[in-house]
Amino acid sequence: MMRTVAAVAVAVLLAAAVAAEASELKVGYYDKSCRGVENVVKWHVARAIKANRKSGAALVRLIFHDCFVRGCDASVLLDPTPENPHTEKTAPINIGLAAFDLLDDIKAAVEDRCPGVVSCADILIFAARDAASLLSNGHVHFDALAGRLDGVHSHAAEAQQDLPDSTFTIAELIQNFKRKNFTIEELVILSGAHAVGVGHCSSLRARLTAPADQILPAYRGLLAGKCAKGPDPIVPNNIRDEDAGAVAATIPGFLPKLRKVKDFLDNSYYHNNLARIVTFNSDWQLLTEKEARGHVHEYADNGTLWDEDFSDSLVKLSKLPMPHGSKGEIRKMCRFVNHH
């Protein structure tokens, strides 16, 4: 009998330990230690987006590229150094990551206010949350959990291994997301972030020779024309953000659908996907599997549902933990680990 009671007690203690680990993150984490920090972050993000909406898209991309590798630990922000020349941001799969300067500015402002209190990892989550909200006119919104530490490890090889590639098949995408405990539905939801931002031609080369049942030939022509203009040009992820000249020359019927405000975060990605006018192979692949295709239709039909589900998926993403037993710190500067 005693042994059973002891076993139950141990099980309860273990459950409590797991719960404690999960409950370290909370909304309003800095209410006492750095009051108003979320307002400081939001002010900087709003100013940056007003100047250039692309910086908002870059922040939304960063939350995924940070959290999918070693959890949400700001490891993606670390610059290469002589001791570690190959940090995550040098990985080919992280081509075009941006908004690092903006995060430096925010971190400096927060350090002025509360030195050594707020992690870069939390600043990145706050900033991505604000960017998603501002780019969607408030339709994407959630309370951000905080209480993360900054990681001290960052390796390009881990980014290459953990992040999904734009060339992936649907089977590879599903497997990649499953490793992080994300479902097929969540894969489709998070792919909707491609309503904003830009892609490099090197990431969409396969689309330039894809058959007509995979990509609208006129759109393929538009991409081919743009990609011929240099070693590795960038193109908008969303055809609705294309320049009018390129669209007039290739898909004139699409001109009325171009957006006056570019980089608007909405469900237009799903409409584009069904019309075979998306940039990456990994986008088109969502139509090749029954469950994923069903969700593409679902979100094309219901933009409000996508806003809500995308908000929930960003919260889930923001909970991805550092590897078990990792050491963390509060960095003084987001690009470098502290020197002890």
Residue range 195-242, pLDDT digits in tens: 999 999 999 999 999 999 999 999 999 999 999 999 999 999 999 999
* Residue 154 labelled as part of a binding site: no
* Average pLDDT of the segment spanning 55-65: 98
Distance CA 320, CA 309 (A): 17
* Residue 66 labelled as part of a binding site: yes
* Residue 241 labelled as part of a binding site: no
Residue 18 confidence (pLDDT) above 70: no
Would you state the pLDDT for residue 216? 98
* Average pLDDT of the segment spanning 290-310: 98
Q: Express each pLDDT in 309-320 by its tens digit.
A: 999 999 999 999
Would you state the pLDDT for residue 1? 46
* Residue 200 labelled as part of a binding site: no
Q: Express each pLDDT in 158-193 by its tens digit.
A: 999 999 999 999 999 999 999 999 999 999 999 999
Distance CA 76, CA 147 (A): 18
Q: Which percentage of the chain shows pLDDT scores above 90?
A: 92
What is the band of 245 on the pLDDT scale with cuts at 50, 70, 90?
very high
Structure-token match 């009051």, residue found: 35
The whole-model pTM stands at 0.93
User: How many CB atoms within 10 Å of residue 327?
Assistant: 9
Residue 22 confidence (pLDDT) above 60: no
Indicate left, alpha or beta for 325 from its phi (over 0: left) and psi (-120 to 50: alpha): left
Residue 141 confidence (pLDDT) above 50: yes
Which stretches of 2-115 are assigned E, i.e. beta strand? Answer: 26-27
Active-site residue list: 65
Report the amino acid identity of residue 272: N
* Residue 101 labelled as part of a binding site: no
Return the SS3 of 110. helix
* Residue 217 labelled as part of a binding site: no
Would you state the pLDDT for residue 240? 98
**Of 3-7, 22-26, 137-141, 327-331, which range is least confident?**
3-7
What is the band of 308 on the pLDDT scale with cuts at 50, 70, 90?
very high
**What are the structural domains of the chain?**
37-163+320-329 (1.10.520.10), 170-317 (1.10.420.10)
* Average pLDDT of the segment spanning 250-259: 96
What is the band of 340 on the pLDDT scale with cuts at 50, 70, 90?
low
* Residue 151 labelled as part of a binding site: no
Which stretches of 123-255 are assigned E, i.e. beta strand? Answer: 145-146, 150-151, 198-200, 234-236
* Residue 340 labelled as part of a binding site: no
